[in-house]
Amino acid sequence: MKSFSDSYKDAGVDVTAGYKSVELMKQYVKRTMTNGVLSGIGGFGGLFELDLTGIEKPVLVSGTDGVGTKIKIAFLLDKHDTVGIDCVAMCVNDIICCGAKPQFFLDYIACGKNIPEKIASIVSGVAEGCVQAGCALIGGETAEHPGLMPEDEYDLAGFSVGVVDKNKIIDPEKQKSGDVMIAIKSSGVHSNGFSLVRKVFTVNEQNLARHYSELGKTLGDTLLTPTRIYVKAVMELISKVNVKSISHITGGGFYENIPRSLPTGLSAKIERNAVQVLPIFDVIAKTGNIPERDMFNTFNMGVGMTVVVDKNDVDAAIAAIKAAGEDAYVLGELVESEEGVIIC
């Protein structure tokens, strides 16, 4: 007997819409299938067989995150096919910081009303993110929550698992004074600091449609630019040189994230002029009259990730990153200090 419930539908939950969403999203999920996937979507759990070839002591590494209030921009622009990329990026960019390779991903979408076409559009972005990260989308959940949120709104979160050989986990304690910090460029604001962004611009449809000459596009298009996924670049990098630490620059900017990958007694000394700040951050600072210290403590400022290598490996590291399709440059060096980050 086909599953349906008029009583549940009258209460605001249409189970048949959920089934349609699954059917629509299957074409996108199919793009992410890797050799380890043992089950399709629709079951109670996603099955994945790890390929441990060449890995002596496998260690699983997990990460979970959401897209935050950047989703508000998607609501206003009625564009939902990119926030899924952000969701994947926020998870996989975290787990690669210890050298782990992402294996699979699961998403969770909570919505006021299940509109199958919108849900499928969201998942198309998740699938694209998984393709960029080289991992499989093996499951997820879409939950209809009438009364908890407006019918046209949703929230999106995700979870990823990766694997790394215990002997190859990146150990920040091996860093020393004189090591060089390299910046890998971001694509923009990524998925952090949007509460401040929305306050600065008093975000609405009219303001998002404004074209800025500094940006070369509208504010809305700039802000909705997906977070870069650095998996392929980092995997290529660690196969070529000895990487001593990696930081994912998210909420909290330089001052919060960089020290997380530094041992006690070492700080990152960064020349302000070395930072290749993207135009959107200059616009944010100018429009909101935000002090530079706060900007560097909130946003990535154009630096999506930082990696630390020996000074003799700098050229090879930058070449490896660029060969994988990302842009990179020398950001600073490590010095003996307890300050964490020194921008001078």
CA distance 321 to 230: 9
Report DSSP letters for 140-157, one per residue. Answer: EEEEE-BTTB-TT-EEEE
Confidence of residue 255 (pLDDT cuts 50, 70, 90): very high
Give residue 15's pLDDT: 67
Region(s) of the chain under CATH 3.90.650.10: 172-343
Q: Are 181 and 308 in contact (CB under 8 A)?
A: yes
Q: Quote the percentage of the chain above a pLDDT of 90.
A: 88
Q: What is the pLDDT of residue 8?
A: 54
What is the DSSP annotation of 310-337? -GGGHHHHHHHHHHTT--EEEEEEEEE-
State the Rg of the chain over Cα. Answer: 21
Give the per-residue pLDDT at 298. Answer: 98
pLDDT for the residue numbered 9: 64
Residue 5 in this model has a pLDDT that exceeds 80: no
pLDDT for 1 beyond 90? no
For the residues 257-273, what does the mean pLDDT come to? 96
- Residue 116 phi, psi (nearest 5): -50, -45
Computed over every residue of the chain, the mean pLDDT equals 94
What does the CA dihedral 71, 77, 81, 86 come to, rounded to 10 degrees?
-30
Question: Is it true that domain 172-343 has CATH number 3.50.50.60?
Answer: no
Q: How confident is the model at residue 16 (pLDDT cuts 50, 70, 90)?
A: confident
Report the first-to-last Cα separation within the chain, whole angstroms. Answer: 70
Lowest mean pLDDT among 28-42, 127-141, 259-273, 274-288: 28-42
Q: How many helices (H) and strands (E) does the chain have?
A: 13, 12
Q: What is the mean pLDDT of residues 304-308?
A: 98
CA angle at 96 for the pair 334 and 63, rounded to the nearest 5°: 120
247: which DSSP letter? E
Amino acid identity of 232? K
Write the CA distances from 184 to 2, 187, 222, 227, 317, integer angstroms: 52, 10, 19, 13, 11
Q: What is the pTM of this model?
A: 0.94
pLDDT tens digits, one per residue of 54-68? 999 999 999 999 999
What integer pLDDT is reported at residue 39 of this predicted model? 76
263 vs 19, residue with greater confidence = 263
Q: What is the pLDDT of residue 26?
A: 85
How open is the CA angle 175-247-128, to the nearest 5 degrees? 140
Average pLDDT over residues 293-301: 98
Q: What is the pLDDT of residues 334-343, one digit of tens each?
A: 999 999 999 9
CATH code of the domain occupying 6-168? 3.30.1330.10
What is the C-alpha to C-alpha distance for residues 260 and 249, in angstroms, rounded to an integer? 10
Q: Residues 6 or more apart from 98 whose CB is under 8 A from it? A: 61, 164, 169, 170, 246
Q: What is the pLDDT of residue 43?
A: 74
Task: Name, in order, each residue with C-beta under 8 angstroms of 207's C-beta and a sequence gap of 6 or more.
Answer: 201, 219
Round to whole Å and give the CA distance between 61 and 275.
31
What would the mean pLDDT of 181-185 be, rounded to a whole number?
98
CATH 3.30.1330.10 domain extents, the chain = 6-168
Looking at residue 79, what is its pLDDT? 97
pLDDT (0 to 100) of residue 3: 64
Q: What pLDDT, in 10s, does the model give residues 190-212?
A: 999 999 999 999 999 999 999 99
